[in-house]
Structure 1
Amino acid sequence: MKLSRYEQETIVNYNAGEQTAILYTRDKAIMRKLDTLVADFPDKYKQTGQDEVSKTYSLPKSYVSYRKPRAVSTEQRERARQMMIAKNKAKGD
């Protein structure tokens, strides 16, 4: 079944009283990432449900994070650009 971009939602649900978060998704990219985590870390990530368009997972609530945006200075950006140019040249040789 083909879902629109709008329908490819992901919902994370948890509360203060429990240590586990529940993640429901209809986004195939998120499913692939979480399926890999379930395979690699079965003690932490578990698939708890599935239907034809969605999957549900459980994971430790502490794995849900909120981060401030990364600030990159003009100098850092230029150094990274020069480093990638050098690596690409070296790879081409």
Structure 2
Amino acid sequence: MTDLVRTLLARRPYVSEGTLLDCLELAEWLGLRIAAGIVPEITTAEMMTRWQCSQSTVSRRIAALREHQLLEVTDHPGPGAYWAVYRVGPVG
């Protein structure tokens, strides 16, 4: 178990393992984008492709991360809507 997982579990022991894994995966994904000089934004379509799931499933997974304050995110409405993810990990 990594130090980040231990920290997350200590601060939020009621969070499911699946939600923690989503948090870690998004953190890694965004870290790679930042390292490559790419703006750290992830589209709904990218999440659907990466996670092989529907838009409603992506919405549920993001909602779980937000509910447990593991994700700071800004919604951008409209066609091709995406979430601009600004921080992954314990928020607050």
TM-score (norm 2): 0.34
Higher strand share: 1
More helix by share: 2
Higher relative contact order (CA 8 A, sep 6+): 2
TM-score (norm 1): 0.34
